Amino acid sequence: MSKGKVLVVGSNATRIEIQGGGTGPTGQYLNETVVPAMALVAAGYEIVLATPDGTKPHIDPVSDAAQHFDGNEAAHKRGRDFFDDHRAMNDARTLRSVIENGIDGYAGVFVPGGQAPVVDLMQDADLGEILRRFHARRKPTAFLCHGPIGSLAALPHAKEYRAALIAGDVSKASELARGWQYAGYKMTVFSASEEKPIEEQVLHGKLYFNMPDALRMAGGDVTTNPVDFSPHVIEDRELITGQNPRSDHPLAAKLVEALNRVTVSA
């Protein structure tokens, strides 16, 4: 018998804007998606996958490698097979349909990273509505790597906020950042120094803004581990954030613990 449903929010983005015009390839990271999802299933939770357009998330090819599974080829294969074959991973629905069918029955929500959420999720009105509802009920809400940037969807003017960040209009962005439900929360996210090799080796260009600054401007109390690509997870109230791909297992453990506390108390 399932302990409850957990919403896994995926991204449909395949390209991300870079300075000077044009775009670079992007997607959702495989390990960041499947490691927590598999942990939730193993802990007895039912997972429901939803994306903005209702299609399966695009996996960044850079992440589809054993190096993101601690160099373990068997673990990589298990993760890939889970994404390819598990029923929930092949039954994606739209975020809007999740809202229309009722979200009060969900015990928690999880948003994985890869740079893709920076493109669509951070300005998605439906995700914003979901996060506001979960916040009001203090339900476990977890974001991994670039995933925490998706929390900005809860801003009253998320699209305009993102546009101001891209335009470098700090004054306008600061004004649009008012009213964020996570202002004052302790959190972490993929750091600017961790982003640098991705920009140089994959995107071949610089992003318009870095993740910590985008969250800090909205009021987030952001800290990152000074040792790049070391696991780092912060839990503050219902919010659980992990800094980078190597934070996948620790974040999954924290999320399961938080869900278990809620389901036991209920």
Residues in the chain: 266
Tens digits of residue pLDDT in 23-67:
999 999 999 999 999 999 999 999 999 999 999 999 999 999 999
Cross-strand pairs, 94 = 51
Q: Give the pLDDT band of residue 266 (cuts 50, 70, 90).
A: low
Sheet holding 46-51, edge to edge: 93-94, 46-51, 5-9, 106-111, 141-144, 239-242, 233-236
Tokens matching residue 137? 């009920």
Confidence (pLDDT) at 189: 98
Q: What is the mean pLDDT of residues 89-112?
A: 97
Residue 73, classified by CB atoms within 10 Å of its CB into exposed (0-12), middle (13-18) or buried (19+), is exposed
Q: Give the pLDDT band of residue 262 (cuts 50, 70, 90).
A: confident
Q: What is the mean pLDDT of residues 102-112?
A: 97
Residue 75 has, within 13 A of its CA and on its CB side, a CA count of: 15
Confidence (pLDDT) at 25: 95
Confidence (pLDDT) at 243: 98
Confidence (pLDDT) at 263: 75
Judge whether residue 261 has pLDDT over 80: yes
* 182-200: burial string, b at 16+ Cβ within 10 Å, e else: beebebbbbbeebbeebbe
Percent of the chain with pLDDT over 70: 99
Place of tokens 């209009």: 169
**Contact present, 84 and 41 (Cβ < 8 Å):** no
Q: Which amino acid is at 155?
A: L
Domains and CATH numbers, the chain: 5-265 (3.40.50.880)
Residues with Cβ within 8 Å of residue 141, at least 6 apart in sequence:
108, 109, 131, 134, 135, 151, 238, 239, 240
Judge whether residue 265 has pLDDT over 60: no
pTM tops 0.85: yes
Confidence (pLDDT) at 264: 63
Looking at every residue in the chain, the average pLDDT score rounds to 96
Tens digits of residue pLDDT in 135-182:
999 999 999 999 999 999 999 999 999 999 999 999 999 999 999 999
